[in-house]
Amino acid sequence: MMVHVPNVLNAEQVARCRAVMEKAGWVDGRATAGHQSVQVKNNLQLPEGSPEARELGEMVLGALARSNLFMSAVLPKQVYPPLFNRYDAGMTFGSHVDNAIRSVAGMRLRTDVSSTLFISEPDEYDGGELVVEDTYGAHAVKLPAGDMIVYPATSLHHVTPITRGSRIASFFWTQSMIRDESKRALLFDMDMAIIKLTRDHPQHPSVVELTAVYHNLLRQWAEV
């Protein structure tokens, strides 16, 4: 399940990200790549734990907490501290799957959902599409600054080569309360249906009945 989450960051927050990044020191992105990914990864990254990464990461985490769509689609249990990367002309990231387990603050996190939050505008660079593969084919994603795509971390995906400009983004992983992707998708579809029903028929008794079903399924499936 791929979900486009618009306006995670507003224009002022995007501008702050870019101002901080202009003065930051970038390092080889392969520092956080796994054994397979390191062979196909060619980009730059803000150092994990740097003051710049911490400031911007806290901004992103705060924005996620305010995004009802992200919460509904991902049902987060724990979010890995956001990372930030840059692709300049000639850079790319070949086809790979994200590591299943990440360590953060002495704890292990299972990467159920991957997220890419775009910070560059689409007309600022050529190439650089995030391409996610699933049973329905390959899906190319290139979103406005401040928008985010979330998708199963089990997916093969790659970033096409940059031919002009620079592509800047935040990326991170989330361990969901719902490990199973199909169950997570079912709960998301049900939540969206409840929201529409509430909007169109707010007094209909089915609103309460369906909400009860949603929460009882969540109670049955959630790992907390």
Q: Which CATH number do you get for residue 37?
A: 2.60.120.620
Measure the CA–CA gap between 217 and 215, rounded to whole angstroms: 5
pLDDT at 37: 72
Same domain, 51 and 143: yes
Residues 172 and 217 both lie in one domain: no
How many CB atoms lie under 10 A from the CB of residue 212? 10
Domain shared by 123 and 49, yes or no = yes
Domain, as residue range, for 213: 181-221
pLDDT of residue 196: 97
pLDDT grade, residue 30 (50/70/90)?
A: confident
Residue 195 banded pLDDT, cuts 50, 70, 90: very high
Look at the chain and report how many structural domains it folds into. 2
Statement to judge: residues 157 and 202 lie in one domain: no
DSSP state of 81: P
Residue 119 has pLDDT above 80, yes or no: yes
Residue 181 to residue 2: CA distance in whole angstroms: 11
Contact partners, residue 7, CB within 8 Å, separation at least 6: 146, 147
Task: Using a pLDDT cut of 90, give the percent of the chain over it.
Answer: 92
| Domain identity same for 96 and 146 | yes
Mean pLDDT of 91-95: 97
Has residue 35 got a pLDDT over 70?
A: no
59/114 same-domain check: yes
**Region 73-95 average pLDDT:** 97
Region 27-48: what's the mean pLDDT?
85
Please indicate whether residue 91 or residue 106 has the higher confidence score (pLDDT). 91
Q: Is 98 annotated as a binding residue?
A: yes
What per-residue confidence (pLDDT) applies to 33?
A: 67
Residue 149 pLDDT more than 80? yes
> Which helix H or strand E contains 147, and what residues bound it?
none
Q: Is the pLDDT of residue 197 over 80?
A: yes
Q: Please report, for the domain that includes residue 216, its CATH number.
A: 4.10.860
Instruction: Give the model's pLDDT for residue 46.
Output: 97
Judgement on whether residues 38 and 130 belong to the same structural domain of the protein: yes
Does 82 share its domain with 164? yes
pLDDT score recorded for residue 31: 75
Q: Is 96 annotated as a binding residue?
A: yes
**Residue 158 and residue 120 in one domain:** yes
Q: What is the mean pLDDT of residues 188-207?
A: 96
Quote the CA–CA distance of 204 and 18 in Å, as a whole number: 47
Helix (H) or strand (E) segment spanning residue 116: strand 113-118
As a whole number, mean pLDDT of residues 42-54 equals: 95
Q: Are residues 131 and 200 in the same domain?
A: no
Please state, rounded to an integer, the average pLDDT across all residues of the chain.
Answer: 96
Confidence of residue 34 (pLDDT cuts 50, 70, 90): low
Q: Are residues 116 and 199 in the same domain?
A: no
- Asked if residue 39 has pLDDT above 90, the reply is no
Same domain, 119 and 195: no
Check whether 215 is labelled as a binding-site residue: no
